[in-house]
Amino acid sequence: MGTNKFNLPKDFFKQFKDKEEFGSFFNDLYKHGVEQMLQGELDDHLGYEKHDKKGYNTGNSRNGFSSKTVKTENLGDIVLNIPRDRNGEFEPQILPKGQTMTDKLEEAIISMYSHGMTTSDICSQVKEIYGVNVSETTISNVTERINELVKNWQQRALESVYLTVWMDGIIMKVRHNGKYINMCVFIVIGLKNTGYKEVLGMWIEENESASFWMKVLTDLKARGVEDILIACTDNLKGFTDAIKGVYPRCITQLCIVHQIRNSCKYIVFKDRKEFCADLKKVYAAINLETAQDALVELDNKWSKKYYYAIKSWKDNWANLTAYFDYPLEIRTIIYTTNTIENLNRGIRKYTKTKVQFPDETSCLKSVYLAIMKLEKNWTRPIPNWGLICHQFLINFADRCKVKI
């Protein structure tokens, strides 16, 4: 009798009358295969096979089975016999205690959750796609496991030195003390000495302050960050004072793009084009001296009409112009927080269906899952890394060792 590449007889499939009988056969085959693997795990745990004389007087032995219903992505619900040992020490690895569905199905549920779907929507989708009935409680239990992933990720060890960090926040509507309020998830991205970006962590807070930023920076230091060369931020409240207390040698650069936007809020539409052209002479100057001269001209021309649009430039001048101390290669990556704004836009795409979150934990879970998906695209060093790394070596020779 002929066989195919699976070594099955040619008439093997003729034994099944219909697809239901064929499906039942494979259910039994899957069930038998998993149960045999469980038996093998128990053999390894006990140190001897069933009926082997080596098991005599070992202090532990087989103790029957317990039934467990497992939800699968292709075969629906399967009832498995899980072997037990008399001492209750056996913990299966292929089907851990507490797990009631296969890894692929769990991954599908987590993926749906990361796209902002509600538990009821996920239940309906799983039923429609996989033909499996999953309760909302089960969905919640699956997504609860993300909390441990978030905790481990937030506590993981970091690099000792980051060439640049970008800091910014994204506003989310979160239930807090019985009402929904705007809370900010602050995110920090670091540039490693290999030219690759890495999200260092996230912190949720209603209001930022020097004490809050001190907590964030102390957290980074505790996780191994010994030095930050340049920090690029929006005008974060209390940040400048906090970072000097933790990383006194760090250079702080306020985001020029944010500053321009803030200034333009004070300018009426008919003057905006002319004002922006004069303002560009300030931030696009070739050096600090030229920028200072351009600011004086801007002040003389516009301050009587738009005092507050220029005042913020004068008040924050030192932190707005730090980038003038460095060559163009470094200026291009530190004058703006666009790096982290791009990440925030990506997070919004994944969380846009979540109008509001029931608590802070739920919010952080969704943001974490979005970050994990977006970070997968960071497979290359930042553009022009060869030039940038050489400039960092020249300007911070005693503090960094970059890699090409």
pLDDT in tens, 361-404: 888 988 998 899 899 999 999 999 999 999 999 999 888 876 65
pLDDT, averaged across the chain: 83
Residue 161 host element (H or E): strand 161-176
Q: Which helix (H) or strand (E) holds 303?
A: none
Q: What percent of the chain has pLDDT over 90?
A: 46
Whether residues 239 and 321 share a domain: the answer is yes
Among 114, 129, 155, residue at a domain's last position? 155
The verdict on 321 and 206 lying in the same domain is: yes
Residue 377 CB neighbours (<10 A): 8
- Which residues on neighbouring strands pair with residue 173, listed in sequence order? 182
Overall pTM surpassing 0.75 (yes/no): no
Residue 402 forms part of a structural domain: no
Are 5 and 119 contained in the same domain? Answer: no
Specify whether 257 is located in the same domain as 370: yes
Say whether pLDDT at 268 is over 80: yes
354: its two tokens: 């979540």
The answer to whether position 180 is within a domain reads: yes
Same-domain pairing of 125 and 191: no
Interval 133-138 mean pLDDT: 72
Distances (CA, A) of 246 to 86, 239, 249, 316: 55, 11, 9, 21
* Stronger pLDDT, 185 or 146, i.e. the higher one: 185
- As a whole number of angstroms, the distance between CA 205 and CA 310 comes to 30
pLDDT beyond 90 at 176 = no
Domain membership flag for residue 226: yes
DSSP string, 246-261: H-TT-EEEE-HHHHHH
Q: Is 1 exposed, middle or buried (0-12, 13-18, 19+ CB in 10 A)?
A: exposed
Tell me: do 136 and 256 sit in the same domain: no
Selected residue with higher pLDDT from 356 and 92: 356
401: in domain? no
Query: What's the domain range around 128?
Result: 101-155
Please tell me the total count of domains within the chain. Answer: 3
Same domain, residue pair 337 and 379: yes
Lowest mean pLDDT among 71-75, 141-145, 248-252: 71-75
Query: What backbone torsions phi and psi does residue 392 show, to the nearest 5 degrees?
Result: -65, -40
Q: Which residues pair with 67 in a beta bridge?
A: 81
> pLDDT digits over 59-84, tens only?
788 888 877 776 665 556 667 777 88
- Is 141 within the bounds of a domain? yes
- Contact between 102 and 108 under an 8 Å Cβ cutoff? The reply is no
Q: For 294-348, how does the pLDDT look when each residue is reduced to its tens digit (9 = 90+)?
A: 999 999 999 999 999 999 999 999 999 999 999 999 999 999 988 999 999 999 8
If asked whether residues 171 and 313 sit together in one domain, one would say yes
Is 238 a domain residue? yes
371 DSSP assignment: H
